Amino acid sequence: MSSQSEITLNGIGAAAGIVIGKVFVYTKHVPRIEEKSVPAADVEKEIERLRNAVARSEKELQKILSFAEQKIGNSKAKIFEAQIMILSDAILFDSIYKRIKKELKNAEFVVHGEIAKYQQLMMNSTDEYMRERAHDVEDVKNRIIRNIQEEKLISRFEGGSIVVSQSLTPADTILFSRNEILGYATDMGGVTSHAALLSRSLKIPAVVGLRDVTSHVHTDDLIILDGYSGVVIVNPSEETVAQYKRRGREMARFEHRLNELKDLPAQTIDGKLIELSSNIEFIEEVRFTKAQGSHGVGLYRTEGMLIGRDAFPSEEEQFREYKTIAERVFPNRVIMRTFDIGGDKVFAQSYSEENPFLGWRGIRVTLDRPEIFLAQMRAMLRASTKKNLWVMFPMISSVTEVRRAKELVAQAKNSLTAEKLTFDDHMKIGVMIEVPSAAVVAGDIAKEVDFLSIGTNDLIQYLLAVDRGNGIVSQLYQEFDPAVLLTIRHIIKEAHKKKIPVSMCGEMAGDPIATLLLVGLGLDEFSVIPYILPEIKKIIRSVTLREAQKIAAKALMFSTWEEVKEFLVGNLKRLTPDIPLPEHLAKDSTAGSGAQP
Amino acid sequence: MIEKEIVIKNRAGLHTRPAASLVKMAAKYKSEFFIVKDGLEINAKSIIGVMTLAAEQGSVLLLRFDGEDEKQACDAIVDLFERGFDESQ
């Protein structure tokens, strides 16, 4: 139940922007058909909705049909043609329209009733084939009813709402975007990030991965949605609303000014050039990166390709995907990470683990299934001909795993050479440092590879033994914990001793409060979500390397995260006073009383 | 009005694909076209109706045409049944 007290929920900011508005809770369900009366005056509207729903159903089926014709051949695609014919069955719809007018009942009820009659007759058949056809009819019926209900849903949106849902499919996002939607908030994240991506391209603020936002709000509750810091505030006080309105205006002004930085290099005042790149999961995101200036990709999560399937994509399919990305990113460079599955990254699994975060995930999976690894490596190598593709391995916890992976890379190269296929023989190989053991032996790992990339999200979780998703302990997850800082310093030092560069692709790389510190520690590359690129660039351009080094050295002397953070915020304010800081609103300070034990 | 009794020849019966062909053919003619099977009468210009007949191989159907082009309609439809809906099997 939502009480009147202010509740702050933390998720993942998926699309930038701040909106304040009423909630519309969107629940997905198998169409439930209720019998309702329609006032005589509204009958025409009801019929109009049905007509639109049928037209839309037909469009959907036409798309499926042409797809089916290509994929499964003309004769089998006829099943969909029959479904389309049902939609234009004049005899059927005449009787439906007549009944709506005569009985003054809602469209979905009548559609269901009329079609169910035929279904029943089919079910009575002794012929198995005919009984199966009843399911086709069921499909069409559900499609029409869903479309009628969506027509009705849209009509409820006038005035604009923030849609709150367990998850949103790309189709949902498009559906809502046709209306005046202020923003999206969802329980789930990750798997549905296709929707997050779409909301970004539609410029609708969104926060995903809130876990239980649907159980905290009801339709018409007032909420604040902050797509910058991934926060949703339920029942905000007047004061909080005013604060966020101000922050929204500041951010809008600031973003406008950042645009001027687009084509400038990310370098410190004294000329130290820092590589600034972005994290992506889908091909479509490359253009968000490009819109922010000429930047490469520091992390391409290949597991995005696995969404919605139950088998690994073939080498050919992967090759086409990787080649397209490498070409679009060219002349910049893209770092592709091999499949990082398991843990919280959902993939159709036929097994279950007591503790998936300490279980079979990342490189552990692909080393155990070399055929998967080899297919992916061959695809990446074949896509590397423009020499702008690097590869890295996730969840490495020992040198042994690095060596085993490199052996497989060599094997993939040999097989390609044998087949006379071209590839970049010097394709750079790197390792994600996200397991504490790998951080400790970073120097030994650095001897084996061309670069390291720090994955802070997992590294911090493992280092501090905190599950971020567990609300009871999530406050202990602190990127400014001195243990985290010392670990990062160690990784960078060890890599530089071996003369290889270090990048960071976790959320910490995109936190403006951490930028000065990381520059000072010698980080070579920041890989962040595209829309935060200009902000990080602005901070890098506001400081000399020497000063950043001093800031980092001082930060490492504190013994609590609170002191570190306060110190860094002070320096950031001093160097870039116009950056609208979320510090009094940020995740760790909004919970009010009892935030810290 | 013309009435004609036919027996379904093709193996799969009047399943989805033949039903679609049948309705498409019927739509070309102005005449009304009904099919009666086991006492159930359906409008054969309605795909969902034809699907409902669940007419298997060997079923006996009564075709009824009524309208200005009933002769042509009847010939064309009966021919379609005779050809077993051009199924290759």
Interface of A with B (CB under 8 A): 75, 78-79, 81-82, 85-86, 89-92, 115, 118, 121-122, 124-125, 127, 129-130, 133, 136-137
pLDDT at A438: 98
Q: Cβ contact (<8 Å) for A91 and B49? A: yes
Q: Cβ contact (<8 Å) for B47 and A115? A: no
Under DSSP, the state recorded for A209 is -
- Tens digit of pLDDT for each residue in A117-158? 888 888 877 767 677 677 778 888 888 988 888 766 665 555
pLDDT band at A592 (very low <50, low <70, confident <90, very high): very low
Cis peptide before A39 (omega within 30 of 0): no
Cβ contacts of B5 within 8 Å, gap of 6 or more = B60, B61, B62, B63
Percent of chain A with pLDDT over 70: 84
Distance of CA B14 to the CA centre of its chain: 8
The CATH code that applies to domain B2-86 is 3.30.1340.10
Distance of CA A512 to the CA centre of its chain: 20
| Of B22, B37, B28, nearest in space to B77 by CA | B22
Compute the average pLDDT of residues A530-552: 92
More confident residue, A289 or A456: A456
Terminal-residue alpha carbon distance, chain A: 26
| Of A234, A217, A233, nearest in space to A24 by CA | A217
pLDDT at A251: 78
- Tens digit of pLDDT for each residue in A255-277? 777 778 888 899 999 999 999 99
- Ranges of beta strands (E only) in A168-263 are 181-186, 206-208, 222-226, 231-234
Q: Which residue from A minimizes the CA distance to B15?
A: A130
| Of A171, A169, A213, nearest in space to A193 by CA | A169
pLDDT band at A47 (very low <50, low <70, confident <90, very high): very high
Output the average pLDDT for chain A. 85
Q: Do the Cβ atoms of A394 and A301 come closer than 8 Å?
A: no
Q: How far apart are CA A58 and CA A161, in angstroms?
A: 29
Instruction: Check CB contact of B37 with chain A, cutoff 8 Å.
Output: no
Minimal CA separation from B85 to chain A, in Å: 13
Compute the average pLDDT of residues A359-369: 89
Q: How far apart are CA A182 and CA A157, in angstroms?
A: 10
Under DSSP, the state recorded for A78 is H
| Of A275, A284, A287, A328, nearest in space to A305 by CA | A284
Most confident by average pLDDT, A246-250, A299-303, A375-379: A375-379
Cβ contacts of A148 within 8 Å, gap of 6 or more = A49, A50, A53, A107, A108, A111
Residue ranges of domains in chain B: 2-86
Q: How far apart are CA B46 and CA B56, in angstroms?
A: 18
The 3-class secondary structure across A119-178, one letter per residue, is: HHHHHCCCCHHHHHHHHHHHHHHHHHHHHHHHHHHHHCCCCCEEEEECCCCHHHHHHHHC
Contacts with B20 from chain A: Cβ below 8 Å = 78, 81-82, 85
Compute the average pLDDT of residues A49-76: 77
Q: Who among B15, B43, B51 is closest to A91 (CB)?
A: B43
List, in sequence order, the alpha helices (H) in A361-481: 363-368, 370-382, 399-418, 436-440, 442-448, 456-464
- Tens digit of pLDDT for each residue in A227-259? 888 899 999 999 999 989 988 887 777 777 777
Q: Which helix (H) or strand (E) holds A558?
A: none
> Can you read off the two tokens belonging to residue B14?
């009047």
pLDDT at A295: 85
Percent of chain B with pLDDT over 90: 47
Q: How far apart are CA A326 and CA A389, in angstroms?
A: 6
Percent of chain A with pLDDT over 90: 50
List, in sequence order, the alpha helices (H) in B6-46: 16-27
Q: Who among B20, B45, B56 is closest to A91 (CB)?
A: B45
Contacts with A125 from chain B: Cβ below 8 Å = 54
- Residue ranges of domains in chain A, CATH in brackets: 7-28+166-253 (3.50.30.10), 40-155 (1.10.274.10), 269-575 (3.20.20.60)
Q: Which residue from A minimizes the CA distance to B56?
A: A127
Minimal CA separation from A48 to chain B, in Å: 22
Phi and psi (nearest 5°) for A18?
-120, 130
pLDDT at A584: 43
Residue A98 CA neighbour count, 13 Å, CB half: 7
pLDDT at A346: 43
- Tens digit of pLDDT for each residue in A477-511? 899 999 999 999 999 999 999 999 999 998 899 88
Q: How far apart are CA A147 and CA A56, in angstroms?
A: 7
Q: Cβ contact (<8 Å) for B49 and A137? A: no
Q: Which residue from A minimizes the CA distance to B24?
A: A85
Contacts with A78 from chain B: Cβ below 8 Å = 16-17, 20
Mutate which: A61, A78, A79, vs B, most B CBs within 10 A: A78
Phi and psi (nearest 5°) for A367?
-75, -30
Q: Cβ contact (<8 Å) for A86 and B23? A: no
Minimal CA separation from B75 to chain A, in Å: 23
Q: Which helix (H) or strand (E) holds A519?
A: helix A512-521
Q: Do the Cβ atoms of A168 and A194 come closer than 8 Å?
A: no
Tokens 């995903």 sit at which residue?
Answer: A208
pTM here is: 0.60
Q: How far apart are CA A100 and CA A113, in angstroms?
A: 11
Q: Who among A85, A91, A130 is closest to B54 (CB)?
A: A130
Q: What angle do CA A540, A475, A195 make, to 5 degrees?
A: 70
> Can you read off the two tokens belonging to residue A499?
């003369």
**A349 pLDDT higher than 60:** no
Q: Which residues of A422-435 are buried (b: 16+ CB within 10 A; e: fewer)?
A: ebbeebbbbbbbbb
More confident residue, A283 or A103: A103
pLDDT band at A174 (very low <50, low <70, confident <90, very high): low
**Which residues on neighbouring strands pair with residue A390, listed in sequence order?**
A335
Number of helices and strands (H, E) in chain A? 22, 16
pLDDT at A6: 86
The 3-class secondary structure across A281-292, one letter per residue, is: CCHHHHHHHHHC
